[in-house]
Amino acid sequence: MQTDLFFERFDALIQSPKRIVLACHVNPDGDAIGSVLALSEFLQGRGHEVKMVVANDFPEFLHWMPGADAFLVFEQDAESCKKAIAAAECIMMLDFNNLSRSGILHNEIGKTRCPRVLIDHHRDPDESQFYCMWSDTCVSSTSELVTEILLHYGKSNLTERCSTNLLVGIMTDTGSFAHSIYHPRTFELVSLLVEKSMPFGYIHQLVYDTMSENRLRLLGFAINDRMEVLDAYSTAIIALNKSDLERFDYQVGDTEGVVNFPLSMKKIKMSVLVTERQDQIRLSFRSKGNFSVHELANKHFKGGGHTNAAGGTLTCSFEEAVEKLKSVLPEYQEMLNMTE
Ligand SMILES: [Mn+2]
């Protein structure tokens, strides 16, 4: 869907006050939370009654974000979430492209008949699920798209709170402006946001300098004791089982970013973090250059995402998951060893 058509429909939807639900993906990250918070404030300013819903809680280091305490978390308050979704006259889904990524909210949103809006930057959206869609894989983040939307309705929409939330989204999805930036426009938008936001250095500190001692030690342990480097495939795998996580008193978000570290080795093209969760095995993929972890995650691990960052899941034993991962590597050996 072209931007013109998006704005035509989006504009019509937000003309008169409505009950609007904003939803983001399960295990929400800074971009999901930031984009939802900013759009929520914008819509509320135009007289809409907005509820923000998410399947499970987000990491502690995002709790300070302006307005974050208004989120309805399904795992903590299922009734309020169900009520909000059932009463919605419009549902906007941000930073994910398929209902199935909304976790436990999936069923509730699936029952509704109101128009759905998608604002997202992940690959292969299921267009049939949405009335109105802005999906662009060439932007850094969903927060970048929301910044464009707010600007479309006037620069004054970039309040301090909105700018702070959007900046968190872009900063976290680009690893502090180190990757996933495909055009100069991203920096133009960041410059506008920094003008209005809380001091950038302070935002960075609130997000990144908040590790507990356990979390930092888990990172050290993961790299020192649980990282396997497979030179033949230019790949590193870090695999953490339940007892590893328990040993370091794992809290939500503690493994965030761990997968990025192996990529800092020159010889590594792909890094994979495998973690044993409650009822499934979670895989997180990162790559450099043209090697698409989206394709790999999509084909073998019921997941996907972006060219250089993707996720997937398996429902098998932890050991089987690591074996399965290793078993698919030969298929990609040539591409992994290509120098660009
Ligand atoms: Mn994102």
φ, ψ at 319 (rounded to 5°): -65, -40
* Residues 135 and 8 occupy one common structural domain: yes
Q: What was the pLDDT predicted at 126? A: 87
CA of 141 to the centre of ligand 1 (A): 5
Over the Cα atoms of the chain, what is R_g? 20
CA distances in angstroms from 240 to 44, 66, 179, 273, listed in the order given? 42, 33, 25, 8
CA of 304 to the centre of ligand 1 (A): 12
* Residues 297 and 277 occupy one common structural domain: yes
Q: What was the pLDDT predicted at 194? A: 98
Residue type at position 289: G
Q: What was the pLDDT predicted at 338? A: 87
* Residues 196 and 257 occupy one common structural domain: no
* Residues 249 and 204 occupy one common structural domain: no
Percent of the chain with pLDDT over 70: 99
Cβ-based neighbours of 185, under 8 Å, separated by 6 or more: 144
Total domain count for the chain?
2
CA of 95 to the centre of ligand 1 (A): 5
Dig out the tokens for 328 from the structure.
């698919």
* Residues 184 and 250 occupy one common structural domain: no
Is 125 in a helix, a strand, or coil? coil
The residue out of 184, 208, 232 marking a domain boundary is: 208
* Parallel, antiparallel or unpaired: strands 132-135 and 72-73: unpaired
C-alpha–C-alpha distance, residues 102 and 63, integer Å: 20
* Residues 237 and 250 occupy one common structural domain: yes
CA of 136 to the centre of ligand 1 (A): 11
The residue out of 168, 191, 208 marking a domain boundary is: 208
How confident is the model over 106-160, as pLDDT tens digits? 899 999 999 999 999 998 888 888 999 999 999 999 999 999 999 999 999 999 9
- Report long-range pairs for 322-330 (Cβ below 8 Å, ≥24 apart): 322/237, 322/239, 322/274, 324/300, 325/237, 325/272, 325/274, 325/283, 326/230, 326/237, 328/296, 328/299, 328/300, 329/230, 329/233, 329/235, 330/233
CA of 308 to the centre of ligand 1 (A): 12
Q: What was the pLDDT predicted at 99? A: 85
Residues 132 and 117: beta-carbon distance below 8 Å: yes
Dig out the tokens for 225 from the structure.
């004791």
CATH of the domain at 72: 3.90.1640.10
* Residues 157 and 243 occupy one common structural domain: no
φ, ψ at 229 (rounded to 5°): -105, 120
* Residues 189 and 243 occupy one common structural domain: no
CA of 4 to the centre of ligand 1 (A): 22
**178 vs 236, which has greater pLDDT?**
236
CA of 25 to the centre of ligand 1 (A): 10
How confident is the model over 273-293, as pLDDT tens digits? 999 998 899 999 999 999 999
φ, ψ at 53 (rounded to 5°): -125, 150
> Residue 130: which domain range?
3-208
C-alpha–C-alpha distance, residues 235 and 255, integer Å: 19
